[in-house]
Structures are given as C-alpha cells and as structure tokens.
Amino acid sequence: MSERFERPERFERPERLERSERFERSERSDLGVRAAELDASDELAKLRAQFVLDDVVYLDGNSLGALPAAVPGRVDDVVRRQWGELRIRSWEESGWWTAPERIGDRIAPLVGAAPGQIVVGDSTSVNVFKALVGAVRLAALSSAGRNEIIVDATTFPTDGYIAASAARMTGCELRPMDPSEVPSALGPRTAAVLLNHVDYRTGRLYDLPALTSAIHDAGALAVWDLCHSAGALPVDLDRHGVDLAVGCTYKYLNGGPGSPAYFYVRADLQPRFDSPLPGWNSHADPFGMSPAYEPAPGALRGRVGTPDILSMLALEAALEVWEGVSIDSVRTKSLALTDFFLECVTAYVPQGRVESLTPSAHAERGSQVALRCADAGEVMKRLIEQDVVGDFRHPDVLRFGFTPLYVGFGDVERAARVLGETVG
C-alpha cells in the first residue's frame, strides 16, 4: 500500500514527507496540463469522433480496434438491402465480386504498396501459409538446393506453427532464431525468411529495410508479418522490395473481430507465384468450372475461396476513416503518445514496480508499450475495473496499445496515473 493511504494525520507528518507530496501533486498537475495542451494541438484529435467510444481509456487497439461509427449503418445496408433485397444480384450490382482487390487497393497506401498487389481475404494464418510455401517455390525457380526456412523464434505462435508445417510440406529444414541473428545465418540453402515487423509481446520494431536487403543479398525471399505495424507506422513495402507480406485488419485498421486479413505479392513476382491453395476464386475463369487449374493474373491468384462478404464490407467501411490521413502523421503521434506514456509511468509508478520491455529508441519501437510486472494478470484485471483497458501476456507482461486515430494524451496521462495508484 502506498504512503498516501498509510500516512498519519498532518500534524504528525515529517516535513520531508510534506515536501515529497507537494512535489508529487505539482508533478501530476503539470502532466495533466501538458496532456491537455498536447490534445489541443493534435491534428488527429478530430478523428476520435469517427469512432464509437465512451469514457473508458481504451489501450487495446493492438488486439481489437475500436468500432468506426460508419460501420453499423454499412453492415445494416449490406444485410437488409444487398443481401435481403438484391440477393444474388449483389455479386455484381453491389460489387461483392471485386471486393477483395478493391479493399486491398484501399489498404495499399497504408503499407506503402502500389495498387494491384494486395488482395483481402482468409485469415492471417492462411495467408502466412500461402506466402511462405509460395516463397519457397519461388526460391526453387531461381536456385537449386534452397531447402531452409528461417523463422523469427519470438514470433506469434501461429506463425511458428505454420512455418513448421510449411517446412514439412516443402522438405525444408526449419531454423527458428532471433531476428538479430538472421543476417549472419543466411546462406545458399536459405529459401525464405518469415519475420514480424513488430514483436507482438514487447512492441520492438525490427529493421525491415536492412533485414530485407540482407535476405535478398543471400538470394532468399523475405516474408513479413505486418499485424502490429500496418495502420500504426510506415511500412513502405514497394520501396524496400519486400517479396510477400501478410497482415490482419482487426487491430490498427479497426476492421472488427475476425475481419479478413490481406496478402501482398510484389508485382514482378506475381506471374511466377504458385499458390499452395489454388481455389476457384483465383482461377483465370472461375465460372468455367474447368477441372484443370489456371491461375488468374496478378494479385488475384492470391484469392482462394468465396469471399467473406459481411466482414469484408464492414472492413471497407472501417477503412473510410483513413481518407486524407497521412501515415507519417500517425507515426509522429504514435511516438509522441508512447513517449508521454513512458514519462508518465516514470512519474507515477513507484520505482522498481514495473520495467519497460519496449525499446526507448524510436527506430526500434512500434505503437505499444509492454511493461513487465510481477503480478501483471491481477494488475490488468484491476485496471480494467477502473476503466483503463490494456491486456496481459503470460506470465508477467502488461501491454498497452496506442492507436493514434482515437487515443489522446489525456488518455495516456490517466492510464499511467491509474496504473501508479493500482500498483503503489
């Protein structure tokens, strides 16, 4: 329990403690004033009104983004009019058939890709499988003897599971390792490397340009998982020559629970991309019902089965909040939010009670802050009871995600203050 709940009455309190408390009150007041000033000058602050939010401090957008206000009405139209009235006609009249590539082109600017390289559909896991097996097949076309897949050893578990399955299916050896070890491990046997742009647990941002370059120098293909970076920071897939990439849409892109993922194949690789899941939706003549498979041209060959229209069109509506928004301005605010949060945590949380696992250097930080805390599960439960929502990762990590489109500096100051009161 903290001093402020245990201290004796004022006339019995030592002068030293009085000065400490005066300083604490002053510091809190200063941080609150600064938060208000920062919010007043924030050019993205107006976007908060485009989301369905209450007074809860919501710092879990790196798990599930908040609901954009335009989505319920759009979904109602899709269900009642497009499905309920137009029925089968909506595949053409409402644009259902072209939704995967149309929405892919809407995501493309957020990850630095030109149109025609992204399709939306399936889950992230399915797309990781397509990308990794496809990468091994592409590598085999250019160089014999490439029978090794390198995977981020700290990756989200599913990526590791998929990589292991892809290795078994393609006859490759799987080599899990820390991303920092990848450049020195690359060799003539390396076919593909699967890496996360941002570590889901710590928020560490990895050097996509340098690692992609090293992978290419070794003659291998780079596959990037963008789940914790797309919509929070610049990615620049085209600029850095990334081969294949995947990502979810329910985090910083706010597409809703289970919203379809996306799949990027660099334009010059598309004619040679051999999907391990050749479905009827990726056929050059999908309604020809031919027993022989002929892949569609371009990014369309990344499609598999019938698109999940309800969630896909909800995602399309959600992406409208990005109109006129620069990803660079989002990154600037993201860094300012996380900087301010770390400053407030230092001021409010008793020394030694938490430890930041997230790098302090901007070049190595995503849009979340992970704090190690001995009783993290119980602490997060108590924070949520006080309307500060983050999440807990076993065994001892508090995660706080900062979505610049709707999180403000006042939210940040309040979250850190409540954290300090909770663990004090």
Catalytic residue among 266, 399, 414, 417: 399
Catalytic residue among 42, 152, 199, 225: 225
Catalytic residue among 206, 250, 341, 402: 250
Tell me, yes or no, if 409 is annotated catalytic: no
Catalytic residue among 251, 303, 414, 417: 251
H-helix or E-strand spanning residue 369: strand 368-372
Tell me, yes or no, if 250 is annotated catalytic: yes
Domains belonging to the chain, first-starting first, are 3-68+325-423 (3.90.1150.10), 98-306 (3.40.640.10)
Tell me, yes or no, if 77 is annotated catalytic: no
Catalytic residue among 58, 156, 348, 402: 156
Decide: 277 and 30 in contact? Cβ < 8 Å: no
Tell me, yes or no, if 23 is annotated catalytic: no
Q: Provide CB contacts within 8 A for 35, sequence distance 6+.
A: 340, 408, 409, 410, 412, 413
Tell me which residue has tokens 């259902």: 96
Q: Provide CB contacts within 8 A for 305, sequence distance 6+.
A: 279, 280, 281
Tell me, yes or no, if 156 is annotated catalytic: yes
**Cα dist. 190→111, 144, 173, 175, 186 in Å?**
26, 11, 9, 10, 6
> Angle formed by the axes of helices 409-423 and 15-40, to 10°?
150
Q: What residue spans of 46-123 are helical by DSSP H?
A: 71-77, 90-93, 99-107
Would you write out the chain's pLDDT as a tens digit for each of its 424 residues?
A: 333 223 333 323 333 334 445 445 556 679 999 999 999 999 999 999 999 999 999 999 999 999 999 999 999 999 999 999 999 999 999 999 999 999 999 999 999 999 999 999 999 999 999 999 999 999 999 888 999 999 999 999 999 999 999 999 999 999 999 999 999 999 999 999 999 999 999 999 999 999 999 999 999 999 999 999 999 999 999 999 999 999 999 999 999 999 999 999 999 999 999 999 999 999 999 999 999 999 999 999 999 999 999 999 999 999 999 999 999 999 999 999 999 999 999 999 999 999 999 999 999 999 999 999 999 999 999 999 999 999 999 999 999 999 999 999 999 999 999 999 999 8
Read off φ and ψ for residue 5, nearest 5 degrees. Answer: -95, -15
Q: What residue spans of 113-258 are helical by DSSP H?
A: 124-142, 157-170, 182-185, 208-217
